[in-house]
Amino acid sequence: MCASGAVTRSTLRQQIADALRDEVLAGRLRPGREFTVKQIAEQYGVSATPVREALFDLSAQGLLESDQHRGFRVREFTVADYRSMVEARTLVIDAVIRGLICGPVLSVAQKVAYRDHLVSVRRRAQEAARAARGGDLDILIGYDLRFWRELGALVDNTYITDFLHRLRVQAWVFAVPYLRHDAGARDWLWHGHPELVAAITLGDRDAVCAVMDDYNTHALNWAERLAAGDPAHPGHDPEPAEQAPAAEGPQPEPQPPTL
């Protein structure tokens, strides 16, 4: 059994990583922003060890870049990076769809569990679509990430779901600075989540593929718009270097702030 000190440190490490990830997703920690372990540790009022571990965790997830001499920096993704994310998830999701629609015959118990899981996913879908139509970016990000994560769980392959989740987090990190500076952002928030769940529930592969084609085309069209400079790159406008990036220290049992 692990010592209580190790458990506490591990929990604190996760709390700090979650809090900083939320700051990046919310756009409060902008691309290119630099900070050190010391800054974060002082802001949270904790030792450097769990902070360093949390920052390396986020670096491993592709959200931060580390520099031996300058500390850490929020990664700056390009439009080309975003296109590659969309293409990668498209290839993987095509295989996922085949697994969902053309997979092995399920037992009665498996069919019940599958149906019950879709009920939960459908609720996420409705909330995500409602947030997208209303232009509520903070709410949308939280529900969108949970929607895709829960939907991916239907294939029962954590390697696939973890890979796709990482891609979606990175895609949102890229998108947030643009969306927050775009008066027409609401028109570019995809809201086809309920249609996708409905198609999967019916086992209609053609309908599922049609929704996913719309999803991917929507993303690539937005990338083309960005590449053309509409809207222009929002810029970084970094906060003063001496100000630590997070406004508050980690809270006990933190929850995603968008939900």
Q: What's the maximum distance between 2 C-alpha atoms anywhere in the chain?
A: 60
Could you tell me if residue 254 is inside a domain?
Answer: no
- Residues 185-230: tens digit of each pLDDT: 888 999 999 999 999 888 888 898 899 999 999 999 999 999 988 7
CB atoms within 10 A of CB 236: 13
pLDDT number for residue 104: 56
Whether 89 and 173 map to the same domain: the answer is: yes
Which of 74, 104, 127 is at the close of a domain?
Answer: 74
Helix%, strand%, coil% for the chain, nearest 5: 65, 5, 30
Whether 149 and 211 map to the same domain: the answer is: yes
pLDDT number for residue 131: 96
Whether 96 and 123 map to the same domain: the answer is: yes
Q: In which domain, by residue range, is 112 found? A: 79-227
Closest by Cα among 28, 45, 29 to 251: 45
Could you tell me if residue 37 is inside a domain?
Answer: yes
Whether 84 and 44 map to the same domain: the answer is: no
Which string of DSSP letters, residue by residue, matches 45-100? TS-HHHHHHHHHHHHHTTSEEEETTTEEEE----HHHHHHHHHHHHHHHHHHHHHH
Query: Residue 45: is it exposed, middle or buried by C-beta count within 10 angstroms (0-12/13-18/19+)?
Result: exposed
pLDDT number for residue 112: 64
How far apart are the C-alpha atoms of 156 and 20, rounded to whole Å?
29
Which of 21, 55, 74 is at the close of a domain?
Answer: 74
How far apart are the C-alpha atoms of 151 and 248, rounded to whole Å?
32
Indicate whether 119 pLDDT > 60. yes
Whether 62 and 153 map to the same domain: the answer is: no
**pLDDT, mean over the chain:** 82
Indicate whether 106 pLDDT > 60. no
Whether 8 and 46 map to the same domain: the answer is: yes
CATH code of the domain covering residue 61: 1.10.10.10
Whether 94 and 28 map to the same domain: the answer is: no
Which of 33, 48, 74 is at the close of a domain?
Answer: 74
Could you tell me if residue 143 is inside a domain?
Answer: yes
Could you tell me if residue 236 is inside a domain?
Answer: no
In single-letter form, the type of residue at position 253 comes to E
Whether 183 and 58 map to the same domain: the answer is: no
- Residues 12-57: tens digit of each pLDDT: 999 999 999 999 998 888 888 999 999 999 988 999 999 999 999 9
Closest by Cα among 172, 120, 122 to 145: 172
Confidence tier at 125 by pLDDT (50, 70, 90)? very high
Number of domains in the chain: 2
Torsion over CA: 202, 208, 214, 219 (sign):
positive
Whether 70 and 111 map to the same domain: the answer is: no
H/E run at residue 34:
strand 34-35
- Residues 136-173: tens digit of each pLDDT: 999 999 999 999 999 888 877 888 889 999 999 999 99
Tokens read off for 192 = 């086809």
In single-letter form, the type of residue at position 102 comes to C
Look at strands 64-67 and 71-74 and give their pairing: antiparallel
CATH code of the domain covering residue 150: 1.20.120
Burial 76-111 (b: 16+ CB within 10 A, else e): ebebebbbebbeebeeebeebbeebbeeeeeeeeee
- The length of the chain is 259
In which residue are the tokens 């520099």 written? 67
Whether 56 and 172 map to the same domain: the answer is: no
Could you tell me if residue 30 is inside a domain?
Answer: yes
Whether 133 and 216 map to the same domain: the answer is: yes
Whether 87 and 214 map to the same domain: the answer is: yes
Look at strands 34-35 and 71-74 and give their pairing: antiparallel
In single-letter form, the type of residue at position 224 comes to E
